[in-house]
Amino acid sequence: MPFDGLMMDTPLTLRMAYDRARRVFGDVEVATKTPAGMARSNYADVCERAARLASALADMGVKPGDRVATFAWNSTRHLELYLAVPNMGAVLHMLNIRLHPEQVAWIANHAEDAVVFVEDCLLPAFEKVAPHLKTAKRFVVMGDGEIPETTLAPVDNYEDLIANSSPDFAWPELDESQACAMCYTSGTTGDPKGVVYSHRSMLLHAMMSGMADTNAISQRDRCLPVVPMFHANAWGIPWAAALLGAAIVFPGQFMTPADIAKLISDEKITFSAAVPTIWIGILQELEKNPDLDLSSIDRIVAGGAAVPLHLIEAYAKRGVNIMQGWGMTETGPLASLSRLKPKFEQMPERDQFRYRAMQGLVVPGIDFRIVGEDGTTGEWDGKSMGEVQVRGPWIARTYHNDPRAPQSWTDDGWLRTGDVAIVDPEGYIQLVDRTKDLVKSGGEWISTVELENAIMAHPKVLEAAVIAIPDEKWSERPLACVVCKPGETVTKEELTAHLEPSFAKWWLPESYEFLDEIPKTSVGKFDKKVLRARFASG
């Protein structure tokens, strides 16, 4: 007899995360830091409010496929939207609150957002966006108490909608291939690109996040997603926490390093995630206030940019494990993670740190290759350099309504990431640079990432970003932009002496610029396009 159709055909949708959180983990805490203190709830209440929210949206006329946007900090209300909007068949679109108003408006119009949920403390910023919107017909203000005076119209109070809507929403049966959410890239070159996620992709990503050798999120955790919910779905943590029964604590608008460090200490956080610049700032807080207790935190995922080796070492001295993650908006986002193989745990600590500073092993479900300039697939020899290309069940296959999409995917379906890497024989990926950030000097490549990490390992240096500047003789040379730690100064000669033992002479920057601050993108990465524009003349 044929062995087909033996398994139950159950759609993989985010309804599974909603139902499991409500039925199995109803008493597990969900909390948000607010100006009035910690606002505490649980999954049972969150799921009931999500059902009321879905009823309210249906009453507004929101239909399957309609885009519902958010302009908000990480919060319990934002989680309610994460659970309500996709599961009613609409598409959740998180707007980046840190972009210029004109860019936010361009993104909202491109996505054709129908309704926008705005946090009350962000009303002044969003009121600069609203006049430019073409498709948004209604606004909802999220906050406690009455709606502040606003130019938005028509406008509803979030809490009034919840109070006046039915908790008995009839959730539809959805196809797992339906869109559940969309995020836009940060637009470091050209207009941002819209990435649309399916229910299947995000549920599988959430399941992967619970694996022991990935994020290992479980019901034993108290998760703190510092990475914004508008940055690649907070790296999938909200849906993973709901599915897997982890408590979740949101920082709200309190995003300074001091606020985050205190929240970790007070709330006994076990798992957190953020870009490296956040952890650099928190390290400074720990140096100023050694009484801060981070002993509860078992692991941190840092990504969005290369994590400096010295940062991993500094946290390890405090008993905190930083795992370097790699991914993009297009990769769902997690594609690899720097977990040590068990056999490496017997290595000298120095060698262990070398592996932990890599982008690590691809997570289960993701396939990758490195492709050289000549189009050939590179070997796993720790030397062959090429662009990382990936494919898998939560890797995007196109951009929303964007003619540039064919440039980013190969004919056989691999995503061209634009990241250049080498892979060692154990399968560990080490990013060398972005293709656009490499310095080509005298026909040879120089990795800006390696130079940056080495410079930031100097005890007097807080941040460093390296860019290419024009050079008549060599075509390009590296320029190092350096920020010193408060109260410290460092010279070009000191930095050169610091680098000389580790790099060939032709790699060493001849030029340094000492800055008060490295410009950052809206998601906290070093904004090299600003630096390149500033120093374009060389």
Active site residues: 185, 330, 440, 445
State how far the Cα of 147 lies from the Cα of 127, in Å rounded to an integer: 14
Contact (CB, 8 A) for 334 and 304: no
Q: Side-chain half-sphere of 295: how many Cα atoms within 13 Å?
A: 4
Rounded to the nearest 5 degrees, what angle is found at the Cα of 459, between the Cα atoms of 454 and 464?
45
Contact (CB, 8 A) for 431 and 306: yes
3-state secondary structure of 328: coil
Closest of 342, 354, 353, 272 to residue 317, by C-alpha: 353
State how far the Cα of 434 lies from the Cα of 181, in Å rounded to an integer: 27
Rounded to the nearest 5 degrees, what angle is found at the Cα of 365, between the Cα atoms of 363 and 369?
75
Contact (CB, 8 A) for 468 and 528: no
| Radius of gyration in angstroms for the set of CA atoms belonging to the chain, rounded to a whole number | 23
Contact (CB, 8 A) for 80 and 46: yes
Output the six-digit token pair for 334. 């997690």
Q: Side-chain half-sphere of 24: how many Cα atoms within 13 Å?
A: 14
The answer to whether the Cα torsion of 16, 14, 115, 227 is positive or negative is positive
Contact (CB, 8 A) for 415 and 391: yes
The answer to whether the Cα torsion of 499, 500, 502, 504 is positive or negative is positive
Beta strand 322-327 with 334-337 is: antiparallel
Burial of 348-374, coded b for 16+ CB within 10 Å and e otherwise, reads eeeebebbbbbbbbbbebbebebbeee
Q: Which residues contact residue 57 at a Cβ distance below 8 angstroms, ignoring those fewer than 6 apart?
A: 68, 84, 85, 88, 90, 115
Q: How many residues does the chain have?
A: 538
Give kind and range of the element (H or E) at residue 415.
strand 415-423
Output the six-digit token pair for 302. 């840092």
Contact (CB, 8 A) for 454 and 503: yes
